[in-house]
Amino acid sequence: MKRISALLCLCAAAGSAFAQTKLSHIKKVKEEWADAPVVHPVPPQYANEPAIILRQDVDLNYQFEGKGINVYYTLHRTVKVLDEKGIEWFNKISIPVSSNTRVPLIKARTILPNGKVHDIPKEMIKVTRNEYGGNEIVFAMEAVEKNAEIELLVKEIRPLSFFGSVDFQFQVPVAEASFEMTYPKELVFAEKGYNGFPDGRDTLMNNRRHISVSMNDIPALHSEPNSFYDVHCMRAAYRIDHFIDQNDFDKTGAYTWNDFARRLHDEYYTIKDKERTAVNNYLTELGVQANGSETDNIRKIENGIKSGIVLYDDMDREDAENLDSIITNKAATSSGYIKLFAACFTQAGVKHELGMTGNRHETRFDSEFTNWGDMEHDLFYFPGTGKFLAPTNVYYRYPVVPDIYLSNKGVFSAIPPKGPVTGPMYEVHTITPLAAGQTQGNIAAAVTLDEDMAAKVDISYAYSGYMATGLRRELLTTVKSKEKDIVKDVVNIADTKDNILNYTISNESMESAYGNKPLEITATVNTNDLVQKAGPKYLLKVGELIGTQKELYSDKDRKLPVDLDYPHTQNRTITINIPKGYKITNPDAVKMHSEYVDGNMKPTISFHSDYAYKADKVTGDKLIVTISETWSQIHFPAQDYERYRKVVNTAADFNKVTLLLEKKGSGATAKETKSKGKAVASK
């Protein structure tokens, strides 16, 4: 469930301005829940689908009630399941709901092919929390079989919101879909369809306004690897366009980006003298210097707040939003956090802009459709560096922000914290990712074989940038007794935790993120399966040392573009200490190369592996394998998918590389060559 900012809702006073005009509820003409439901035939074009949504109706009805406005939301859906896969998908259904929503009506039933109806009893309909902490209604359906139909009806009473979005495309086709909004004549909404869903137009009928959109035969959209599915689904987005007051005066331009910037400024930059004094003292405690480096001051402020002020979802104290109270009690809500950041940057003279952006997995910024509802996540932008800071993400450090923001756009308040407004009130900035070289996942490994040809591996992993963030958080929030479980997940060549003989972790503190010090895990591992005997030869599965690689071998036509999490590089150096008297007969098996070049013939993603042979009569020969991957581009159109997946599959093919070891003199002598390529350091 998306988090909708409090900025999106009118206050009660704004609602009461319209409340003098009471309008009665208009009932829909169509029947919502038939007493004797009819079993529908299967449209022939969908005969091979696992299921089909026969009907998907979503209605929003805005009503003046008391001193405000409530939104009556109705979802009516009928699904026909056609095979075992369809039954598996729909025998349990989850509907997300917001925490402050009332749900006066929930109905669900299964209609068998012979017309028999199984109503789902209330005790089988649960309201619970999903894995993301949001509320959802869960239906456990009964008697679902092939060609049965599942019908559900959910009615909610939602608090006022002037922005939203409804999906109408799924993994199965939709035969009929409709979206309808009705609202008082004083409000004027706009609707925009995305990815092929129709646009709607506001009309006035019977003293109320309406938007009605319908579409038939919406094809199934299947998820694909490395794609953001929700972005590409057909959906209807809506927003308030303007108001018409009681004198029929048209107030155009409601909820513009200028209004958005003004509300951000007023909410977070209005502080009292007592708060300002507390902030100045706090900055002194943090070691922030008026004439100090801007980057140093940003880091001191961020680390001081995120390390010293506890972030809570909610607080009961009346002074919870006062900065002096926050500093004294070392506790704040997310809005208190943002307010403290804004005050500290302002008092320290750090040039900045506060703004919000959306989740690029769900929506992309649309400059032609002003939709505050897409603005979910708070960010600070620093014009001096062109970088960003995520204030309420306590395990991130400047300039690393969550990857769900990257390459999306955000709207930022350009209103100066001090002084008059002399230019535009807002700016739009693209949240540009860090360069690929600033996010690395590197490996340095040395393989030693004993007289029984059992392998011991000394291996080091070094993570920086975006790749370090999740692992650093996991290490800092896990009890010491569970730490080795995390290490085992990283050192995945170990069959069990007991195979890890020893390990060390360095630079796991949040302060190490500044300066991008790599988070390192170094371990010594006994591996049972890295070497296998095959007659007189031994098979060394060198490809497994780089960890499991994704592969894209499906021949299905690609429909969706490719989107990756962030730019990054990966450099690996694997040193194989060849036992005396043995040789590697197929060293060229590690040599691989693939790249994707842009219009200027510059590689933007690539995989390259090579080797160097080092003769050593004293300690034994060595084969030094070097692998480098670069992923500096994170979006690829669908028509370029084949070129993209060639690089991915080359990396996956290396994962399967096996080297052959045999005693010298037992066969043809391998040509011992030295690669021109240089070994790449892991850090």
Secondary structure string (H, E, C) spanning 363-429: CCCCCCCCCHHHCCEEEEEECCCCEEECCCCCCCCCCCCCHHHCCCEEEEECCCCCCCCCCCCEEEE
Domain ranges of the chain: 9-249, 258-430, 436-663
Whole-number pLDDT of residue 142: 84
User: Of the CATH numbers 3.40.50.300, 2.60.40.3140, 1.10.10.60, 3.40.1180.10, which one belongs to the domain with range 9-249?
Assistant: 2.60.40.3140
Contact yes or no for 292/286 (Cβ under 8 A):
no
What's the rounded Cα separation, in Å, for the pair 679 and 93?
53
Whole-number pLDDT of residue 310: 96
What's the rounded Cα separation, in Å, for the pair 2 and 357?
12
**How much of the chain is helix, strand and coil, in % rounded to 5?**
25, 35, 40
What's the rounded Cα separation, in Å, for the pair 243 and 145?
50
H or E element: which one contains 193? strand 187-194
Does the structure show a pLDDT above 80 at 675? no
Q: What is the pLDDT of residues 175-224, one digit of tens each?
A: 999 999 999 999 999 999 999 999 999 999 999 999 999 999 999 999 99
Q: b/e for 215-243, b at 16 or more Cβ within 10 A? A: beebebbeebebbbbbbbbbbbbbbbbbb
Closest by alpha carbon to 202, among 250, 156, 158, 169? Answer: 250
Provide the mean pLDDT of the chain.
Answer: 89
Tokens of 637: 């159109």
Burial of 167 (0-12, 13-18, 19+ CB in 10 A): middle
Per-residue pLDDT averaged across 367-377, rounded? 94
What's the rounded Cα separation, in Å, for the pair 239 and 221?
26
What's the rounded Cα separation, in Å, for the pair 625 and 320?
58
Whole-number pLDDT of residue 16: 33
Does the structure show a pLDDT above 80 at 674? no
Whole-number pLDDT of residue 32: 84
CATH number for the domain running over 258-430: 3.10.620
Residue in this structure with the two tokens 């959109």, named with its chain if needed: 213
Radius of gyration in angstroms for the set of CA atoms belonging to the chain, rounded to a whole number: 30
Residue in this structure with the two tokens 């001191």, named with its chain if needed: 300
Q: What is the pLDDT of residues 272-330, one digit of tens each?
A: 999 999 999 999 999 999 888 999 999 999 999 999 999 998 888 878 889 999 999 99
Closest by alpha carbon to 73, among 112, 39, 103, 50? Answer: 103
Amino acid (one-letter) located at 193? G
What's the rounded Cα separation, in Å, for the pair 410 and 430?
6
Does the structure show a pLDDT above 50 at 653? yes
Task: Give 81's strand partners.
Answer: 51
**What is the percentage of the chain residues whose pLDDT exceeds 70?**
91
Helix (H, G, I), strand (E, B) or coil at 497: helix
Does the structure show a pLDDT above 60 at 5? no
Any idea what DSSP says for residue 175?
E
Any idea what DSSP says for residue 452?
T
Confidence of residue 140 (pLDDT cuts 50, 70, 90): confident
Q: What is the pLDDT of residues 300-309, one digit of tens each?
A: 999 999 999 9
- DSSP letter string over 590-643? G-EEEEEE-TTS-EEEEEEEEEEEE--TTT--EEEEEEEEEE---EE-GGGHHH
Whole-number pLDDT of residue 248: 56
Confidence of residue 27 (pLDDT cuts 50, 70, 90): very low
